Amino acid sequence: FVDYFEDNYIGRRICNNRRRVPRFPITLWSCFSRLDQQLPRTNNSSEGWHHALKNSVRINPSIYESIKDLQVEQHANLIMAKKLEAGLVKLTKRA
């Protein structure tokens, strides 16, 4: 596991205590800058939205049914945004 991590994420050591360029740049996988900007560490919120959208649409819909489903979803999101702006609903953060 350590070899895999070195090769892909931090770079294997070479001469003069330097490291090779890793396969995935540190800026790609490190959450430090996101935490510094007070952004979420994961994309769980968008994954949850995708899951809910997938469960709300029909199997093999026509283009018109797909458009209608997206319009319903957009309307629901606009209502939630208005409620959040008005202070009627508060989003809770799970620990």
Break the chain into its structural domains and give their ranges. Answer: 2-36, 44-86
Joined together, the tokens standing for residue 29 give 């996988």
Q: What pLDDT, on a 0 to 100 scale, did the predictor assign at position 18?
A: 87
Q: What pLDDT, on a 0 to 100 scale, did the predictor assign at position 94?
A: 66
pLDDT digits (tens, 9 = 90+) for 45-93: 889 888 988 888 888 999 999 999 899 989 999 999 999 999 998 877 7
Beta strands in the chain (DSSP E): none
- 44-56 and 63-86 are packed helices; what angle lies between their axes, rounded to 10 degrees? 130
